[in-house]
A and B are shown apart, each in its own frame.
Chain A
Amino acid sequence: MTWPFAIIAVLTLTSAVAAMSLRNLVHCVLMLTVTFAGFAAFYLQLDAQFVGFAQVLVYIGAVAILVVFAILLTRSAEPPRQSIFSATWVVGVGIAVIVFGLLSGLILSSRALTRAIRPPPEVSVRQIGDQLMAKFVLPLEVIGLLLTAALIGAMIIAMHEKEHE
């Protein structure tokens, strides 16, 4: 429980709560971006540098901008007239509390916590590349197909309606 971890954890948790509860959707997205940056900081603390930079590049550089475009294209940037929370919000929060209780109970009673702490692993990008081409080549190809399908699918879904208008 070192100081950097505590600061990053507080920042990430606060921005996550803010992202889920603010009225203005654009503010929610900006808080979500801060949460993503907090996650990247966690990954860097855990000596996973490639994952940390990939998180910044993909999530902050692409997904956040995508959400922003979607908000502007669906005119959700104006403040809503009714409440932002649905009528059954108590059930939702209750389920989340139960899930957190379950998870923390499982974590605190697990034997994984008693293992000795190893020194940080020496991970180079070359090793990640070698693994991608050797052991994980099939998931790599499948991801390629998945991303192509997602690209074409998203384009078709978002394009089709306009021609019918």
Chain B
Amino acid sequence: MTPLLCYLLVSALLFAIGLAGALTRRNAIMVLIGIELMLNAANLNFIAFWRYGPNPQALTGVMFVIFSIAVGAAEAAVGLALIISIYWHYRTTNLDQIDSMKG
């Protein structure tokens, strides 16, 4: 049970939880929360590999995660703006009812 194994398993479990939430919840905002959880799990993976990897002095893992956090925040902002805009049009955030392009 090396530390790296523990971190990777926890990160995979969190990713799976986020995926399950994003695929099963009806509310659009909950899907976005699931996506954020998946992003964070991937970041944890990067940092775990950076710490226990061959060359921590190159700081590649830390850099990647810094940029990933920035991109994740930007994506959350734009996604939530889209959800708000869709709410004003359809008056609902229930994904099962936003189906005008169906069929």
Contacts and interface: CB of A to CB of B under 8 A. Distances in A.
A66 B80 contact: yes
Nearest to B70: A143
Contacts of B52: 115, 117-118
Main SS class of interface, B: helix
A62 B17 contact: no
Contacts of A25: 27, 29-30
Given A74-B87, A107-B12, A154 B78 contact: yes
26 contacts: A20-B30, A25-B27, A29-B33, A32-B37, A39-B44, A42-B44, A48-B47, A67-B29, A70-B83, A70-B84, A82-B94, A86-B24, A88-B24, A92-B24, A97-B16, A115-B54, A117-B3, A118-B52, A123-B59, A131-B59, A132-B63, A139-B63, A143-B70, A150-B77, A154-B78, A162-B88
Interface of B: 1-10, 12-21, 23-27, 29-30, 32-34, 36-37, 40, 43-44, 47-54, 56-57, 59, 61-63, 65-67, 69-78, 80-85, 87-89, 93-96
